[in-house]
Amino acid sequence: MKIDRMHEQKVGTMNPVMSAHHVVVYHDPAHWAAVPANNGANGSVWQWGNELLAGFTVGTFLRARSGHQCTYDKPFDSWLARSLDGGETWQTWKAEGYAGQPAPNRELVEGVNCASPDFVLRVEGNGYHGNSGCRWYLSGDRGASWSGPYGFGTLFECPELAGLEFTGRTAYFVEGPKTLLLFLSARKTKEAATLNIAIEEKPFLARTDDGGKSWAFVSWLVPWSDTYRAVMPAPVRLSPSRLVVALRRKSPTNNWIDCVASADNGATWVPLSRVGDTEAGNNHNGNPPAMVVMADGRLCCVYGNRTMQCMLASFSADGGATWSEPAVIRDDFSSVSGWPDLGYPRLYQRRDGRLVAIYFWCSPERPETHIAATIFAA
C-alpha cells in the first residue's frame, strides 16, 4: 500500500509538537474495514523489531446516517496486515483458519510453547462483528498460518465467572514456555437491551501453566462494586512484579481511559490514574486504548476521541501515575455521513524510536471507513 504523503504535517497542539505522517494500510470503497483493537494484540507481542502484525475486520460498505458504515446482512471477515519496514508499507490478506470461522473448538492435546519467538495468540469473544463465542487461536509462524479454535476448559465454571458472558479481546504476557497471563473481560447479560449491559462489564486476568490446556481465574482488575464499564485492557509490564493496564471506561454520562496497577504480578489491583477522555458526553461509546513501554522508559497511550474526531497520544514518565496533556496525532477525520466512527488503535515502537499507531479512519480523500496508520515521534 502506498504512503499517504498528502497528510505529512506537524501535529501536537496540546503537547510539544511532534512530526507525523499517515499511511494507508487497507482501503476499498466497497468495504468497511475497522476495529484493529478487536482483532489482535498490541506491540510488543505482535512485533518483531520493525516487523509489525495487526488484525482488522472487513465487512460490506453501506452509507449510514449513524453507527458503522456497513451492512449486517452480509458476512464479516477477519483480516491481517503485516509490515516489514516499521509501518511504512503493509501487506493485507484474509486469514484462513482464523477467527470468525464456523468451526467447533478443538482439543489441545499438548500444551504449546508460548515462549517461541514466533508465537502469537488471538482471542475471539462476543461483541465482535462476525465473531462470537469463547475461544482462542494460535500461530507458530508470526500469523502466517493458524490453528484452532481452542476453548478455555473449565475457566467459566469457576465461581467468579459463572453465569457471565465472555467478551475478551487479545492482550497477554508470556511468562515462560508453558505460562501465559491473559487479560480478558466478561459481562452480565440480563439487561442486554439497555445501556446497563455496556456498564456491567469488567476485566479479569486468567493464567495457564500448561501451554493453554487449562486456564485458571486470577483476579478482577476492577471490582464489580465499581458501577462503570471497564473493558479492553491494554497491559504493560514495568518489572517482574509491577503491571500497569489502561482500560476503556464508560458511565451513563461520559467515556474515558483509566489505568490500574498491580504490584504482585496481577494477584491484586489498585486504581492508578485517569489518562484522558474519549468523548465529551456519552453519544458514541468512547474508544479503547493502546499502550506501550517506550525505549526510554516512558509509557505512551493512544486512543480516539469521537467528539474531537481525532487520534490522541498521552505520555507518562512515572509509570502511569500521571499523564501529559494529550497530543493530537491526527485530526482530518471526514466520513461520508459525518458520524465519528474511528480509532480502536494498536500501538508499536520501532527501532528508530518512532511510534506506529494503526486504527480505523475516514479522511477527505477516503471517506469510507478504512485502516490507517500514523508514524510519529515522541
Q: What is the pLDDT of residues 109-133, one digit of tens each?
A: 899 999 999 999 999 988 777 677 8
State which fold the 3-376 domain adopts. Neuraminidase (2.120.10)
Q: Which pLDDT belongs to residue 132?
A: 74
Q: What is the pLDDT of residues 57-108, one digit of tens each?
A: 999 888 877 678 877 788 889 999 999 999 999 999 999 888 877 788 888 9
Task: Report the alpha-carbon distance of residue 127 to residue 129 in Å, rounded.
Answer: 7
Residue type, 316: S
Q: Which pLDDT belongs to residue 199?
A: 76
| CB 341 within 8 Å of CB 64 | no
Whole-number average pLDDT of the chain: 90
pLDDT band at 15 (very low <50, low <70, confident <90, very high): low
Domain ranges of the chain: 3-376
Residue 192 pLDDT more than 60?
no
All 3 cell numbers of residue 37?
483493537
Q: Which pLDDT belongs to residue 257?
A: 98
Q: Which pLDDT belongs to residue 198?
A: 66
Residue 18 pLDDT more than 90?
no
Residue type, 353: G
Task: Report the alpha-carbon distance of residue 31 to residue 70 in Å, rounded.
Answer: 8
369: number of CA atoms within 13 Å, CB side?
Answer: 31
Q: Which pLDDT belongs to residue 12?
A: 41
Residue 329 pLDDT more than 60?
yes
**Residue 286: C-alpha distances to residues 7, 57, 72 (Å):** 25, 19, 21
Q: Which pLDDT belongs to residue 7?
A: 36
All 3 cell numbers of residue 66?
449513524
Residue type, 303: Y
Instruction: Give SS3 for 20.
Output: strand
User: Long-range contact list for 201-206, CB < 8 A, 24+ apart?
Assistant: 201/167, 201/229, 201/230, 201/231, 202/226, 202/229, 202/230, 202/231, 203/230, 203/231, 203/232, 203/233, 203/245, 203/247, 204/160, 204/161, 205/181, 205/266, 206/152, 206/155, 206/181, 206/182
| CB 125 within 8 Å of CB 112 | no
